[in-house]
Amino acid sequence: MNKEEIFKSLDLTDAELKGGSLYVNSPGDGSLIGHIHMTDVEDADHKIHDSVRAFKEWRTVPAPKRGELIRIFGNILREKKEALGALVTLECGKIYQEGLGEVQEMIDICDFAVGLSRQLYGLTIASERPGHKMREYWQPLGPVGIISAFNFPVAVWAWNAALAVVCGNSVIWKPSEKTPVTAIAVQKLFERACAEFGEAPAGLSQLIIGERNIGEELVNDHRVPLISATGSCRMGRDVGQKVAARFGKTILELGGNNAIIVTPNADLDLAFQGILFGAVGTCGQRCTSTRRLFVHEDVYDQLVPRLKEAYGGLSIGDPLDEKTLVGPLIDEDSFNNMQKALEKAADQGGEVFGGGRALQEMYPDAYYVHPAIVEMPASVDNVREETFAPILYIFKYSDLETAIERQNDVPQGLSSSIFTTDVCEAELFTSEAGSDCGIANVNIGTSGAEIGGAFGGEKETGGGRESGSDAWKGYMRRMTSTLNYSKELPLAQGIKFGS
């Protein structure tokens, strides 16, 4: 599919793609995709106002009916999977297979949300008083602000929006300023679903496009009770503090510094595949990308040379080409940050393999790189910063408890894995004395989580959970209700008040 076919299939018009001041270039070749209109502060204010109005209507629609809207939306996504997947590739540079995978994640979360729309269960709780019942209700919360990052330009919105909408909320989306076009396309597909559904209030989903200042309007607005933000720890610290200052709620899904431990009992073929996808997939630009590898000294010489050989033969290039495994970095800043991190590692005695710019002559305005492996010397115990690029730091270890400790000894706590066929090693890793991350996998890499589990991490990753399991509770308001069906009014704790 070429650019024009993608735009046509997604019904993107010149009026939407041109005439604005936000220039969007494809990371694949640097070519202009569009110049997009940005939302100004006054506009954002109107959109938030309309979102409140839509919420007041939507919250009274029965939840299974709300699910019906998401069912229709999921079917539209099925129909547009190829075009939207290709647009994701065009705008954020991930390879087409991963662009398709991202849209599949949207479809999966829609299915999950449809089922959920009939399962927003509360508890009944035994009352200590005769003739009394206690119940827990989950109520809609209000407009939900969703701030998403460039690397998952559409799936992250869908995890949040599909749940938020079946929970009875309206949504306001601030996408990354690097990927507004996919957001416009998705917003239009959602509006089409609303039209087919027929009973959705106007403005149920709003889109605000712009830079940091426009995101701040959302973050600081007391009419938006929940902000779900995905991005860097720096951004999350700022958002978290601002929302907390007004006693709003947040779901924060921030940086990762994910490690894989390979024990002497690992199936090395599996480990090899898991590491490769985790470290070079999405050109190292997933929050779940594998950044650190702890390899036991007994298997180091079997695994690490094999990885280097594979790194040497990776097909790097046009992300729309089906043969490509590694697409470009998002932009020049990202490239510079990668180079700085590699220089720092070399200064510390790290042995750097790969890491330089690729295809510069063919694509002078795009930033392709050779993914890097850095073998770290024994004198360096860890790497504690996340660099959003394909750098895999490798450490040799001799004792599993110490490897787990080093894995945990970073500010972030998103994803982690162990490769082992020894049940005791695997169980230790997923025990209270094991990984401290929100995700701890066995014989699977750090990235590529399914939507059915709760997704998110601890420490500076922000503590939020999105997607499956009971993450939906984060989008609702818990209400405890005690009901008296007797003719007496006994007080709790046996208190006597008056006669």
Shortest Cβ contact with ligand UN1: which residue? 449
Considering only residues 205 through 234, tell me which ones interact with ligand UN1, judged by CB under 6 A.
230
- Contact status: 100 vs ligand UN1 (CB under 6 A): no
Considering only residues 112 through 131, tell me which ones interact with ligand UN1, judged by CB under 6 A.
none
Q: Which of 39, 151, 407, 416 binds ligand UN1 (CB under 6 A)?
A: 151
Nearest distance, CB of residue 158 and ligand UN1, angstroms: 11
Q: Which of 447, 460, 461, 471 binds ligand UN1 (CB under 6 A)?
A: 447
Number of residues that bind ligand UN1 (CB under 6 A): 11
Nearest distance, CB of residue 89 and ligand UN1, angstroms: 16
Question: Which range, of 352-360, 403-411, 447-455, 491-499, touches ligand UN1 by CB under 6 A?
Answer: 447-455
Nearest distance, CB of residue 455 and ligand UN1, angstroms: 7
Question: Which range, of 180-188, 204-212, 286-294, 304-312, touches ligand UN1 by CB under 6 A?
Answer: 286-294
Q: Which of 27, 99, 390, 448 binds ligand UN1 (CB under 6 A)?
A: 448
Q: Which of 146, 209, 287, 391 binds ligand UN1 (CB under 6 A)?
A: 287
- Contact status: 465 vs ligand UN1 (CB under 6 A): no
Of 16, 68, 102, 253, the catalytic one is: 253
Nearest distance, CB of residue 258 and ligand UN1, angstroms: 9
425 is catalytic: no
- Contact status: 179 vs ligand UN1 (CB under 6 A): no
Nearest distance, CB of residue 445 and ligand UN1, angstroms: 9
Cβ-based nearer residue to ligand UN1, 168 or 255: 255
Nearest distance, CB of residue 157 and ligand UN1, angstroms: 11
- Contact status: 416 vs ligand UN1 (CB under 6 A): no
- Contact status: 288 vs ligand UN1 (CB under 6 A): yes
Nearest distance, CB of residue 439 and ligand UN1, angstroms: 8
Q: Which of 73, 152, 363, 475 binds ligand UN1 (CB under 6 A)?
A: 152
DSSP letter (8 states) at residue 456? -
- Footprint of ligand UN1 on this chain (CB under 6 A)? 105, 151-152, 156, 230, 286-288, 447-449
Q: Which residues are catalytic?
A: 253
